Amino acid sequence: MENKLSSMDCKFETVAWGLLLIWWGLTDADFGLVPSLPAGAGWIGIGLILLGLNAARAPNRIPASGFTITLGIFALTLGALRLTRSVLGLPPIEISLFPILLVALGTFVLIRELMRFRRAEFGS
């Protein structure tokens, strides 16, 4: 049974990666194939794909991934902020969000791994 769930989860992840790459190619700010989308639409799509991956896991009793849930929520929030600024005609934020994303992701991965190590060390 475990092998079947692992295989199904691998298929879900493969589909999500495919959708993510296609969406990124369509919405990329510099080279995207659909340049008329409003600012933030790309991030919103990425967030929905990542959260959809976990939604597909749930009915199949596959544990959700905290990592992709966190990324999905972050992407949705970023997309909503960019879309809101675009719709209201506000100037774009001048800080680079990609380095902030990298620091946030690195911190999440590090904390998660340290918590696993600590649990294993204390036998809980």
Task: Say if 68 falls within a structural domain.
Answer: yes
- Structural domain includes residue 112: no
Q: Which letter does DSSP use for residue 113 in this model?
A: H
Residue 53's pLDDT is what? 93
Q: How many domains does the chain have?
A: 1
CB 71 within 8 A of CB 45: no
Q: Which pLDDT tens digits describe the chain residue by residue (124 residues)?
A: 667 778 888 889 989 999 998 988 888 766 768 777 888 888 899 999 999 999 999 898 898 888 889 889 988 998 898 888 878 887 766 667 667 777 887 888 788 888 887 877 776 5
Residue 123 lies in a domain: no
How far is residue 84's CA from residue 90's CA, in Å, rounded to a whole number?
8
Establish if 114 belongs to a structural domain.
Answer: no
- Answer whether residue 99 is part of any domain: no
Please check whether residue 102 lies inside any domain of the structure: no
Instruction: Answer whether residue 105 is part of any domain.
Output: no
Q: Are 71 and 105 in contact (CB under 8 A)?
A: yes
Residue 53 in domain: yes
CA dihedral 31, 75, 41, 32 (to 10 degrees): 10
- Look at residue 94 in the predicted model and tell me its pLDDT: 66
pLDDT of residue 119: 79
Q: What is the pTM of this model?
A: 0.72
Dihedral of the CA atoms 33, 34, 35, 40 (nearest 10)? -120
The boundaries of the domain holding residue 29 are: 2-93
